[in-house]
């Protein structure tokens, strides 16, 4: 998979067309169409807010907690959609892979880019909601894209790795669904990390070493409130601070190498 081949005009056109097709097909036949890109995370946020903020009184010590929760659910929706679509992409596009010879990575990337489009739409809603809620714009807002790129790299690495395995072993999709459910409670989305820190500093640090938790907290810090606990202001060890980023790079590199090796046999195995 050489760089010139990856960046060729033909591949870019194919990637763009597959991405547009995936995005259109996602909402084809539904009454509300593209509005579901906004409604799904908003409905999830509304349920979590009523249950955890109003009934269980979570987040009382966090400024702008509704926006804090909305940002968390939006980022989580992006990660789950990105990985779920990416893992299934090779199987879903099986007919195309058997008929046409082209770089197989395009199928996975196009599937994940539809999640990126949805996330960008939802991010606009988060920003508007933040301004209405009284969040002051800050230069740290400029750091949000870097955190999103980091999160996308993680999701893409998982998609390449598990997507390649899923071609032969279709149980991977079901296994990942279970892992996603576990991750939802292992990452501070509905509960603030301060609750964990009050009980156990070590547990809070371990949670922050999870790249998913690290990026979510970084985005909350940059976009909503600087009172947010992050890897950078809670962990003093420099190596541990950059550990989530190093882990993402390792996952992405190994996943790409594994995907490249297995892609030669996809047409036969699908």
What's the domain range around 189? 3-269
Which among 17, 229, 200, 2 is positioned nearest to 107, based on CA atoms? Answer: 17
Query: Positive or negative CA dihedral for 82, 235, 204, 131?
Result: negative
pLDDT, tens digit (0-9, with 9 covering 90-100), for 76-96: 989 999 999 999 988 888 777
Residue 225: φ, ψ to 5°: -150, 135
Determine the Cα–Cα distance for residues 183 and 124; give it in Å rounded to an integer: 25
pTM reported for the whole predicted model: 0.87
Nearest CA to 73 out of 129, 28, 34 is that of 129
Reading the block at residue 176, the tokens are 């990942």
Mean pLDDT, range 159-174, rounded to an integer: 92
The structural domain count of the chain equals: 1
> pLDDT for 184-226, tens place per residue?
889 998 888 888 998 999 999 999 999 999 999 999 999 998 9
- CA 270 to CA 268: how far, in whole Å? 6
Maximum C-alpha span of the chain: 57
> Is the pLDDT score of 3 beyond 50?
no
Q: Using the 8-state DSSP alphabet, how is residue 229 labeled?
A: -
Q: Is 190 in a helix, a strand, or coil?
A: coil
Least confident of 24-28, 71-75, 174-178: 24-28
Q: What is the pLDDT of residue 37?
A: 61
Task: Please give the angle made by the CA atoms of 18, 102 and 86, to the nearest 5 degrees.
Answer: 50
pLDDT, one tens digit per residue, over 8-43 is 777 778 788 888 777 666 665 554 555 666 666 677
């Amino acid at each position: 998979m050489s760089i010139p081949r990856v960046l060729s005009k033909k591949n870019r056109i194919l990637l763009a067309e597959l991405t547009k097709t995936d995005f259109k097909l996602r909402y084809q036949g539904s009454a509300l169409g593209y509005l579901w890109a906004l409604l799904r995370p908003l409905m999830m946020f509304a349920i979590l807010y009523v249950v955890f903020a109003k009934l269980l009184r979570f987040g009382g010590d966090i400024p702008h907690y509704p926006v804090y929760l909305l940002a968390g659910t939006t980022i989580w929706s992006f990660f789950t959609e990105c990985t779920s679509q990416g893992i299934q992409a090779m199987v879903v596009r099986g007919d195309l892979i058997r008929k046409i010879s082209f770089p197989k990575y395009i199928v996975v990337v196009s599937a994940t880019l539809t999640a990126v489009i949805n996330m960008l739409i939802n991010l606009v809603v988060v920003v508007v909601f933040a301004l209405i809620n009284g969040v002051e714009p800050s230069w740290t807002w400029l750091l949000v894209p870097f955190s999103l790129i980091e999160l996308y790299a993680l999701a893409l690495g998982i998609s390449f790795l598990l997507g390649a395995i899923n071609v032969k072993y279709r149980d991977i999709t079901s296994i990942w669904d279970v892992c996603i459910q576990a991750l939802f409670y292992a990452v501070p989305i509905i509960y603030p990390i301060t609750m964990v820190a009050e009980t156990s500093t070590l547990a809070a640090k371990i949670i922050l070493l999870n790249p998913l938790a690290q990026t979510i907290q970084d985005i909350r810090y940059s976009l909503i409130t600087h009172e947010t606990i992050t890897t950078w202001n809670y962990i003093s060890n420099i190596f541990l601070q950059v550990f989530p980023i190093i882990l993402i790079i390792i996952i992405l590199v190994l996943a790409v190498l594994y995907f490249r090796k297995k892609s030669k046999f996809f047409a036969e195995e699908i």
